[in-house]
A and B are shown apart, each in its own frame.
Chain A
């Protein structure tokens, strides 16, 4: 399946990516190939196959409701590009 430029631009917008025109071309081709590859699965007859919810085949992994120590605030904020003494700072949110 070929990917249209509009579809590439939509996916890019949802991922908040700015693409140059030539990148749009490149990704349209690449995404098309990826989808084509996955479409091979359509050749299988899955009529009687239960949908799979997870690949690991494991279920019901829980933790008890117990409070564990959190990070120091300094550690939590350490990697922030912009911060003050208490909070992360980001451009204005409306």
Chain B
């Protein structure tokens, strides 16, 4: 057996913060970055006698996410208490969902880079409340931890995949697609810096043996604070588990599930101290909260409201605008607003391929350089579309058009004003013909040369035309000159 026969098996648990104004069971704000302990109340502090009431919007967003993940929505869902002690969990239990989650049995189509599309099954997606934040305080010279409960009770959706992922690249593709879907639907902003998207990875190996495949004990990796960290942690863990298998030969069931943390600085996974009996959460139904029943009518209504999801949008951009898969993907990955911008551009300019190229090369470059998004982009799609139409109709060449685009963006000018500012004016056909006549009258030798078959002699006059009127399009001038000479002959 070689390492190449070993199959890496990965399942991901992703927590996304639902984009609500208030918490899951109380009216405290979910706003990020506020002074510590200024967004709490008896409910989220877990004070005796306080009664949680479900946030309707959190439920709606969770159901939308479930449907977008092709899940079934439970006709009845209920709330359970997950019991454990931790200082950032004031009630001593987390309100979560155990046996009747909001959504279950779905899948997500993913596009691993350089690989074939792959379907990853989703086991379930359930609602739960977030815990608070503990900070270690060394500055004060004590070893205390400081607890901020602003985040306590913030609505989360935990999305659990089947262990269908086989490499760090596939895990990355799954996360990219999941994030795209959640942001498209405005279910979550998926901002990892603010903790709105968190990932835990379950990793083990399947090793072919003479008596069938052997599975090794599962390791859960926590503290993955970026998609890059997820990829590196999985790769590191795979190598570590192969070494461990060769050293100790432990099989699934012969060792408990262990938890490792990812150390971003040292770029390695580190085993965390086992919380004693951490798996024994003693779930039981929360008597403070009543179940939620869901009608098929409600589900159908949400389903219709989903609109065009990224996968369908990619396919449509390819078929409707004849874009290649790569181009469609680039546009879709930037979000629905950018796609809307592109579609307007394509419609106004009359050339979708050109519109796509300009969005990918010029618009995205400028957005990147200025760290803005399309919503704040000063060049309206209609104006940019008119610009591209000038190129399409041969009234402006591409390099000049790029200057105009730059001017429109930098000086925040309309198309007309930007062209005026650069001294570009459209020259009328009559004016061009007049100009050409004058030149031919003044240069009888050129006329004679061209008539005699030396067509390249006309080049000298094109140069002169450009000098007399910098906005004269060389192609049009050439065409008019040749026509006039023919008429004269």
Contact = CB atoms under 8 A, between A and B. Distances in A.
B276 A13 contact: yes
Nearest to B281: A14
A84 B146 contact: yes
Interface of B is mostly: loop
A89 B40 contact: no
Interface in B9-58: 20-22, 26-29, 35-42, 45, 53-58
Contact of A73 (B21, B35, B137, B273): B35
A93 B22 contact: no
A47 interface: no
Most chain A beta-carbon contacts within 10 A, residue among B20, B54, B88, B290: B290
B144 A92 contact: yes
Nearest to B78: A53
B76 interface: yes
A60 B293 contact: yes
A35 interface: no
A14 B149 CA distance: 23
Interface string A63-94: 11111111101001100001010111111111
Contact of B20 (A60, A65, A73): A65
Contacts of B276: 13
Contact of A70 (B29, B145, B280, B287): B29
A71 B86 CA distance: 22
A10 B282 CA distance: 12
Most buried by A among B39, B100, B140, B145: B145
Interface string A20-64: 000000000000000000000000000000000111101111111
Interface residues of A, number: 36
A65 B56 contact: yes
A56 B241 CA distance: 50
B23 to A, nearest CB: 9
Contact of A59 (B28, B35, B40, B293): B293
A90 B145 contact: yes
Given A65-B21, A65-B56, A66-B22, A58 B290 contact: yes
A64 B56 contact: yes
Q: How large is the interface on B (under 10, 10 to 19, 20 to 34, 35 or more residues)?
A: 35 or more
Contacts of A62: 53-56, 59
A55 B85 contact: no
Nearest to A58: B290
Nearest to B51: A61
A87 B37 contact: yes
Contacts of B45: 71, 76
Nearest to B36: A86
A63 B54 contact: yes
A58 to B, nearest CB: 5
B22 A68 contact: yes
Contacts of A55: 287
Interface string B244-278: 00000000000000000000000000000100110
B147 A88 contact: yes
Contacts of A59: 76, 290-293
A63 to B, nearest CB: 4
A53 B56 contact: no
Contacts of B335: none
Interface in A1-26: 10, 13-14, 16
Contact of B145 (A61, A67, A71, A89): A89
Interface of B: 20-22, 26-29, 35-42, 45, 53-59, 76, 78, 83, 85-88, 100, 134-137, 140, 143-149, 273, 276-277, 280, 282, 285, 287, 289-293
Given A68-B41, A90-B147, A92-B145, 17 more contacts: A10-B280, A56-B290, A58-B290, A61-B54, A65-B21, A65-B55, A65-B57, A70-B39, A70-B40, A70-B41, A71-B45, A77-B37, A88-B146, A88-B147, A89-B146, A91-B145, A93-B86
13 contacts: A13-B276, A53-B76, A53-B78, A56-B290, A63-B54, A65-B22, A68-B28, A70-B27, A70-B41, A71-B42, A73-B36, A87-B148, A94-B273
